[in-house]
Amino acid sequence: MNRKIFLLSISLIAGCANLSAVRDISSQLLTAASSWDSVTGEIAGSCRRQLTLNSQLTDCKIETQASDGLSAANGVLISYFKALKNAASDSNFTIQPGLSNATESIAKIPGINADQVKAASGLFGLLARLATEKMRESVLHELIGEGAPAAQTVISAMNEVVVPQLRTQLDGEGLQLQGQFGRLIHEAKDRIEGNPSKLCEGSSAAKFSGTGFLLTQEYCRRQAIVDQRIAALAAYQATLKSTNDALAELQSSKTKLGAAALTQRLLEIGAELEDKVSALQKAFK
Amino acid sequence: MSVTTDISALQNLCMTSARCTLDQLLDLGPKPDDTVRALLWEQQTTRLQGQLNSLTAMNSKLAAASILTSLKKQTDALAKVGQVSRDAEKKIKQIAKVSDLLITLSKVLDLGLAVLTAAAGPTAASLTAVLDASTALSGSIANNGT
């Protein structure tokens, strides 16, 4: 009877420790946050590209400060997701190496039999696991209860400020390109019909002079980079939203982290996140 | 009105003006062949290009300033996230210490057993075993810093 109760206790503890969904979503959040630097680095990146054409810019100091600041903020979020992943990883909450050593030493005691060794090490293990599970619970409670709302505040600010500012910055770069290359193409006496960006869609530049044609090629190359970065902003915004959703789910379920519904929801968010992160990584390759 | 709102209003003005300037610049069309009209074209495009450059440069600076202002507002939230993460990692490391403590305990048991065996029948082998167990225990204590 006592043996049954002992086995039941062990299986209950093992059940509570089933945090693989939390660990998996933390890994995905970690990958997402690691991809954000490529986007936030675009404040400085766009400035550096414009600097080659626009003498009024003079330098990219403040833009670099903004990108570095965002990178530092991303770094804090990355550390948070790493801690969340570590707290949900069983390997960080095992006393197995120490327990194995102790079991070996107990087995060497003269006159002790196998059942006694098993009982002694089993009890030892149970007590140690109870203690470590309690510690894990406390770590996760603090990480989710206190850390997640603060992380959400930072992510919301990135969504509300970084995305529109980066969009404006890239739009400005687009206008700069159109003005600079439009003027140079006109100087080569070739006529641009409508918006210069249309030059990159059809064969109208084929009728241009040699200079006009080469200018169009360079314009389209630069404009393609800007267009690619603008398109990547949507993926960036989607990863911010998924991250926010995941943090909200974790907060609403922090007392039942092994629950099936939470696992399902985290898996869905994780799948969305994976798609968007892969689009983001592709855009900045 | 917050700094961010002020910056945003300025940016809108900048971008609207930049679009108008670009339209004017492109509307000038190709450079005329006539020398006098070509000179006028040069003057106008240089002026408009200069305006466009100033406006897009200002837009870039304003975007960066707006982000820096927003980051400043997030200082407390970022400090909180950082602190919670550091505390969690510290607690996770404590688990490894529990395991190390069990390893030290096993070395104490090994030493006790070796001493008992040597006391019951002192031989060269049993005394070497005491010495080995003692060295292992010292090593474990030194590693754990206990």
- The per-residue pLDDT for range B51-84, each reduced to its tens digit, is 999 999 999 999 999 999 999 999 999 999 999 9
Mutate to test the interface with A, among B70, B105, B113, B116 (most CBs of A within 10 A): B70
Buried b (16+ CB within 10 A) or exposed e, A65-81: bbbbbbeebbebbbbbb
Please state, in angstroms and rounded to a whole number, the distance separating the CA atoms of residues A180 and A54.
9
**What pLDDT was estimated at residue B96?**
66
Q: Is the pTM of this model over 0.90?
A: no
Touching B: A residues 54-73, CB under 8 Å? 54-58, 60, 62-63, 65-66, 69-70, 73
Buried b (16+ CB within 10 A) or exposed e, A229-244: bbebbebbbbbbbbbb
Is the four-CA dihedral A144, A146, A149, A154 of positive or negative sign? negative
| Cα Rg of chain A (Å, integer) | 28
When CB atoms are compared, the residue of A73, A187, A189 closest to B71 is: A73
Which chain A residues touch B89 with a CB distance below 8 Å?
Answer: 82-83, 86
Within an 8 Å CB–CB cutoff, is residue A151 touching chain B? yes
Query: What count of Cα atoms within 13 Å lies in the side-chain half-sphere of residue A192?
Result: 31
**What pLDDT was estimated at residue A9?**
40
**B131 CA to centre of own chain:** 49
Please state, in angstroms and rounded to a whole number, the distance separating the CA atoms of residues A190 and A152.
52
**What pLDDT was estimated at residue B146?**
46
The CA–CA distances, whole Å, from A48 to A63, A169, A256, B60, B74 equal 9, 12, 49, 11, 26
Please state, in angstroms and rounded to a whole number, the distance separating the CA atoms of residues A281 and A268.
20
- This model of the complex carries an ipTM of 0.77
Touching B: A residues 91-120, CB under 8 Å? 92-99, 101-102, 104-106, 108-110
pLDDT, mean of each 10-residue run, chain A (285 residues): 43 48 81 85 94 92 94 90 82 66 70 68 70 77 88 91 92 96 95 89 88 95 94 88 86 64 68 74 70
Which chain B residues touch A102 with a CB distance below 8 Å?
Answer: 102-103, 105-106, 109
A143/B52 touch (CB, cutoff 8 Å), yes or no = no
Cβ proximity of A222 and A249 under 8 Å: no
Cβ proximity of A230 and A221 under 8 Å: no
Burial status of residue A44 (CB atoms within 10 A of its CB: 0-12, 13-18, 19 or more) = buried
Please state, in angstroms and rounded to a whole number, the distance separating the CA atoms of residues A94 and A132.
8
When CB atoms are compared, the residue of A105, A139, A169 closest to B91 is: A139
User: Among A228, A239, A250, A237, which Cα is nearest to A275's?
Assistant: A239
The values of phi and psi at residue A52, to 5°, are -70, -15
Please state, in angstroms and rounded to a whole number, the distance separating the CA atoms of residues B141 and B90.
21
- In the block, residue with structure tokens 């600010």: A157
- In the block, residue with structure tokens 């206190």: A146
| Cα Rg of chain B (Å, integer) | 39
Burial status of residue A255 (CB atoms within 10 A of its CB: 0-12, 13-18, 19 or more) = exposed
Residues in chain A: 285
**What pLDDT was estimated at residue A39?**
87
Mutate to test the interface with A, among B6, B74, B86, B101 (most CBs of A within 10 A): B74
Please state, in angstroms and rounded to a whole number, the distance separating the CA atoms of residues A177 and A46.
12
Query: What count of Cα atoms within 13 Å lies in the side-chain half-sphere of residue A39?
Result: 32
Residue A113: partners with Cβ closer than 8 Å, 6 or more residues away:
none
3-class DSSP string for chain B:
CCHHHHHHHHHHHHHHHHHHHHHHHHHCCCCCCCHHHHHHHHHHHHHHHHHHHHHHHHHHHHHHHHHHHHHHHCHHHHHHHHHHHHHHHHHHHHHHHHHHHHHHHHHHHHHHHHHHHHHHCCCHHHHHHHHHHHHHHHHHHHHHCC
Burial status of residue B21 (CB atoms within 10 A of its CB: 0-12, 13-18, 19 or more) = buried
Within an 8 Å CB–CB cutoff, is residue A146 touching chain B? yes
Within an 8 Å CB–CB cutoff, is residue A271 touching chain B? no
- In the block, residue with structure tokens 């070395």: B107
Rounded mean pLDDT of chain B?
Answer: 84
Structure token pair of residue A198: 């249309």
- In the block, residue with structure tokens 């070796």: B114
Mutate to test the interface with B, among A30, A70, A141, A168 (most CBs of B within 10 A): A168
Please state, in angstroms and rounded to a whole number, the distance separating the CA atoms of residues A62 and A103.
61
Residue B31: partners with Cβ closer than 8 Å, 6 or more residues away:
A186, A187, A189, B38, B41, B42
**What pLDDT was estimated at residue A225?**
94
Residue A58: partners with Cβ closer than 8 Å, 6 or more residues away:
B57
Query: In this predicted model, what pLDDT tens digit does every residue of B11-47 receive, in sequence order?
Result: 889 999 999 999 999 999 999 999 999 999 999 999 9
Please state, in angstroms and rounded to a whole number, the distance separating the CA atoms of residues B71 and B79.
12
User: Among B54, B53, B62, which Cα is nearest to B11's?
Assistant: B62
